[in-house]
């Protein structure tokens, strides 16, 4: 197997020149570059990725922290992030924090030891002190971590208005909103705030119920759905994340409640599960693939010292469905 010094000898240049030509597209004259490229091709030289990364002081790896990939939103997000990072030349290292102690701490220590180049953080952990005063590249995905850490997220204020407009096309009198834990501070909370403001302006009653912290399973959603129909017998509209409102749809069918005649439902996230069932849900769709691509570009820009100056916020859209 050819080594870099063999390439240097064949091309008649130094080992350092070969390294610079291979690692920097703009290094050297066209003649020097051609000599090196011809030698590489003739000797079928394959550069050592480890050596290359050491020379660049990078691992070409980005850590992604999410609560779980069992939840439809995070499953789509992680898939889109991995694809976007791959096209930018980076590998993805995944950390799911739900029911794991010290998982984030381990990732942050890896970042400090330069075992990875940056982190995209989207978990719902409560201890954000881990991220204070870090100098390494970190961006947040729909999370407030610290004033120094920028956030990629959808325009949830617009999302709240879109959801409100969907309900206002019908004569709803009492809407229940399903929110995440109020212990977690996230830009997504703005859609509930705006939704309530609009509904109040039109004289529509709203009540909010919250899932327990870090509850992303189907059983949690089903239990909450049963509680909603038991506690709010006059409910005629439900707004919440995809999995939450799908559970409400299931319980409504079991109770003989007709959707959308007696109950209107709007999902917030708009993942594929809202569009692929027997009944397509009306949904506010977060642009997950576009947000992931944006987050990937942002973190790679921070790693390379060339920040991406494009906006950090993207607009959601309303997907027409059969439930509202």
DSSP string, 15-59: HHHHHHHHH-TT-S-HHHHHHHHHHHHHHT----HHHHHHHHT--
User: Rounded distance, CA 261 to CA 279, Å?
Assistant: 14
Residue 64, pLDDT score? 95
Q: 131: pLDDT confidence band, cut at 50, 70 and 90?
A: confident
Q: Which range scores top for mean pLDDT: 128-132, 180-184, 253-257?
A: 253-257
The pLDDT tens digits of the residues spanning 209-239 come to: 988 776 666 788 899 999 999 999 999 999 9
User: Rounded distance, CA 113 to CA 107, Å?
Assistant: 10
Residues of the chain with CATH 3.40.50.2300: 61-154+289-314, 156-286
Which residues lie below 8 Å from residue 147, measured CB to CB, with a gap of 6+? none
Instruction: Provide the token pair at 12.
Output: 């008649």
Q: Quick check: 61 pLDDT over 60?
A: yes
DSSP code string of 87-100: HTT-EEEEEE-TT-
Q: 316: pLDDT confidence band, cut at 50, 70 and 90?
A: very high
Mean of pLDDT values over 20-48: 79
Q: Quick check: 141 pLDDT over 90?
A: yes
Residue 48, pLDDT score? 61
- Which range (23-37, 112-126, 217-231) has the least confidence? 23-37
The pLDDT tens digits of the residues spanning 194-209 come to: 999 999 999 999 999 9
Residues of the chain with CATH 1.10.260.40: 4-56
Q: Quick check: 101 pLDDT over 70?
A: no
Which CATH fold topology does 4-56 show?
A: 434 Repressor (Amino-terminal Domain) (1.10.260)
Q: Quick check: 49 pLDDT over 60?
A: no
Mean of pLDDT values over 164-189: 90
Q: 299: pLDDT confidence band, cut at 50, 70 and 90?
A: very high
User: Rounded distance, CA 61 to CA 205, Å?
Assistant: 49
Q: Interior CA angle at 85 toward 80 and 89, to 5°?
A: 150
CATH of 156-286, one of 2.40.50.100, 3.40.50.2300, 3.40.50.300, 1.10.10.60: 3.40.50.2300
CATH 3.40.50.2020 given to domain 61-154+289-314: no
Which residues lie below 8 Å from residue 124, measured CB to CB, with a gap of 6+? 67, 97, 143, 180, 181, 184, 186, 213, 214
Q: Quick check: 286 pLDDT over 60?
A: yes
Residue 99, pLDDT score? 66
């Amino acid at each position: 197997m050819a080594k870099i010094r063999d390439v240097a000898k064949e091309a008649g240049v130094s080992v350092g020149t070969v390294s610079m030509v291979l690692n920097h597209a703009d290094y050297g004259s066209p003649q020097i570059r051609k000599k090196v490229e011809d030698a590489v091709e003739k000797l079928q030289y394959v550069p050592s990725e480890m050596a290359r990364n050491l020379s660049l002081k990078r691992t070409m790896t980005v850590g992604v922290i999410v609560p779980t990939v069992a939840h439809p939103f995070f499953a789509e997000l992680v898939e889109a992030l991995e694809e976007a990072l791959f096209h930018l030349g980076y590998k993805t290292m995944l950390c799911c924090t739900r029911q794991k102690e010290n998982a984030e701490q381990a990732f942050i220590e890896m970042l400090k030891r330069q075992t990875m180049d940056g982190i995209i953080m989207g978990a719902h952990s409560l201890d954000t002190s881990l991220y204070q005063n870090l100098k390494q590249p970190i961006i947040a995905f729909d999370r407030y971590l610290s004033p120094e850490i920028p956030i990629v997220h959808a325009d949830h204020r617009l999302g709240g208005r879109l959801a409100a407009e969907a309900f206002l096309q019908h004569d709803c009198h009492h809407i229940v909103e399903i929110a995440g834990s109020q212990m977690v501070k996230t830009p997504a909370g703005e859609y509930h705030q705006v939704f309530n403001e609009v509904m109040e302006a039109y004289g529509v009653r709203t009540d909010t119920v919250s899932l327990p912290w870090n509850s992303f399973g189907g059983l949690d959603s089903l239990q909450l759905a049963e509680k909603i129909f038991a506690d709010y017998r006059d409910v005629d509209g439900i707004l919440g994340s995809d999995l939450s409102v799908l559970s409400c749809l299931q319980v409504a069918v079991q109770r003989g409640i007709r959707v959308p005649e007696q109950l209107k439902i709007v999902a917030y996230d708009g993942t594929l599960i809202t569009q692929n069932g027997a009944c397509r849900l009306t949904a506010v769709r977060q642009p997950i693939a576009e947000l992931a691509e944006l987050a990937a570009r942002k973190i790679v820009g921070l790693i390379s010292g060339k920040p991406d100056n494009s906006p950090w916020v993207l607009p959601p859209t309303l997907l027409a469905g059969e439930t509202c």
